[in-house]
Amino acid sequence: MAQIHKRFTDDQVRGLFERYIRKEVARKYLQEMLGISKSRFFALLSKYRKDPKKFSIQYSRSKATRWIDPAIEANILKELAVDKKMILDKAIPIYRYNYSFLKGQLEKKHDQEVSLSTIIDRAKKHDFYIPNRRRGVIHDREVLTRHIGELVQHDSSYHLWAPGGGEKWWLITGLDDYSRFMFYALLLKHEQVWPHINALQRLMLEHGFPYRYYVDQHSIFRFVRNRDDRYYKTGPITDEYLPQWKQVLNDCGVKVIYALSPQAKGKIERPYGWIQDHLVRTCVRENVTTIQAARKVLVEEVRQYNYKRVHSTTEEIPYVRFQKALKAKQSLFREFTLPPPFKSPKDFFCLRLRRSTDAYRKVSINNIPVRVNGVNPHQSVTIRIYPLNPTVSELRFWHENQLIDVQTFKTQDLKGVSSFNS
């Protein structure tokens, strides 16, 4: 219903109040006629009785601009300009303004407190505003698991994380579905199998074996016929070859399920979006140009995400939710133990090759002959490769479930090994 001053004149309301005072009309009828509440009726009646001649229901609303310190306003516009420059650069994965992040920057860098509504108001007035686009399909944000370790979402993303560095890097992330706790976040110049396996090692040595892993259909995680074959050939079908990463999870007894679309990976994409947004914005503002500096920024952002911020879906801090589940024994993590015949985690979290020795008890790795001790000619051996550091790897030779030899090898001489399947 329209406001009272738009439906009645001052004289009309005066006349109604006069009739009420003379007890000609009951209040409930006048209140219904005017379309106002009981408290509003008596407020207007009191105003009328104080001065019937000057009584009016007309008013003009004046909207005064809130005053803020010119220094604060200058910093708001400065930070908005930084965001706009990133948005206009198609190479940078920033597509919108983040006013909450900007508010935090003002508090962190300039020790200036300002409301979010004020920042948005200035953004609209100075052309730093992008209306939200309506999405065609809305995916519900809900937790479908009931235990920590029930589902670990693992993914990687390739972006220009630090525009000042001028090159794109890979970000590998693992997330617990129930608590939304981020187990690891690794920033790499090149995507290879070993960092993904090393991420498994970090998680499982600390927390144990999870129940399931959830990944996309990247070739590191899954062999898909006609996509991963260089030439079409009959015989091998999807999942018949086991990538190195999948072999590790098979040894762990951990199930793997695959997302069939980007939308299905929504839970991991949202934290990615948060980390991506904050990582890029911080790297730009701190003029980060190296991956080493970007990694420091990433560590701090993940710490904020895990231990400081309330998750919008669970409405709890991820670490707090994870610990509560542990105390309540609401966990599907299994204790990490080495199944026989493995002797060390190096035999478990590793790259694998199969070779047969020649007449001189040697095998060939990238056309480099390697003599193997403790095995006869023309016997099959499994070589488990564990990178000790970027320059040296440990080769552990197995035959008939027995560790027969251990050697070190230059990592550069193993180039390409990570792409081998069994």
Q: Would you say residue 420 has pLDDT above 80? A: no
Q: Element (H or E) spanning 83, and its range?
A: helix 70-88
Residue 71 CA to residue 78 CA, distance in Å, equals 10
Using one digit for the tens of pLDDT, what is the confidence trace for 60-80? 555 555 578 888 989 999 999
From residue 109, give the alpha-carbon distance in Å to each of 114, 116, 149, 284, 286. 13, 16, 38, 14, 11
Q: Determine the angle formed by the axes of helices 266-285 and 70-88, rounding to 10 degrees.
A: 120
3-state class (DSSP) for residue 262: coil
Using one digit for the tens of pLDDT, what is the confidence trace for 310-328? 888 888 999 999 999 999 9
Q: Would you say residue 3 has pLDDT above 90? A: no
Tell me if the bond preceding 318 is cis, omega within 30° of 0. Answer: no
Q: How confident is the prediction for the chain on average, in pLDDT?
A: 85
Using one digit for the tens of pLDDT, what is the confidence trace for 298-312? 999 999 999 998 888
Among 254, 252, 248, 249, which residue's Cα sits nearest to residue 352?
248
The whole-number pLDDT of residue 314 equals 87
Lowest mean pLDDT: which of 6-15, 115-124, 311-320, 409-418?
409-418
Residue 343 CA to residue 384 CA, distance in Å, equals 12
The whole-number pLDDT of residue 139 equals 46
From residue 304, give the alpha-carbon distance in Å to each of 199, 204, 268, 296, 318. 20, 23, 17, 13, 10
With pLDDT > 70 as the criterion, what percentage of the chain qualifies? Answer: 86
Lowest mean pLDDT: which of 18-32, 128-142, 195-209, 390-404?
128-142
How large is the average pLDDT for residues 354-382?
93
Task: Using pLDDT thresholds of 50, 70 and 90, give the confidence band for residue 138.
Answer: very low
Among 323, 271, 317, which residue's Cα sits nearest to residue 298?
271
The whole-number pLDDT of residue 301 equals 92
Using one digit for the tens of pLDDT, what is the confidence trace for 198-221? 999 999 999 999 999 999 888 888
How large is the average pLDDT for residues 269-276?
68
pTM for this predicted structure: 0.72
Q: Element (H or E) spanning 273, and its range?
A: helix 266-285
The whole-number pLDDT of residue 422 equals 35
Q: Would you say residue 125 has pLDDT above 70? A: yes
Residue 173 CA to residue 199 CA, distance in Å, equals 8
Residue 312 CA to residue 370 CA, distance in Å, equals 55
Residue 327 CA to residue 109 CA, distance in Å, equals 39
With pLDDT > 90 as the criterion, what percentage of the chain qualifies? Answer: 44
Please report, in angstroms and rounded to a whole number, the separation of the first and last CA atoms in the chain.
Answer: 74
Residue 393 CA to residue 304 CA, distance in Å, equals 35
Given strand 351-356, what is the order of strands in its sheet?
351-356, 380-387, 392-399, 402-410
Query: Would you say the C-alpha torsion 239, 245, 246, 247 has a positive or negative sign?
Result: positive
The whole-number pLDDT of residue 5 equals 78
How large is the average pLDDT for residues 177-184?
93
Q: Would you say residue 271 has pLDDT above 80? A: no
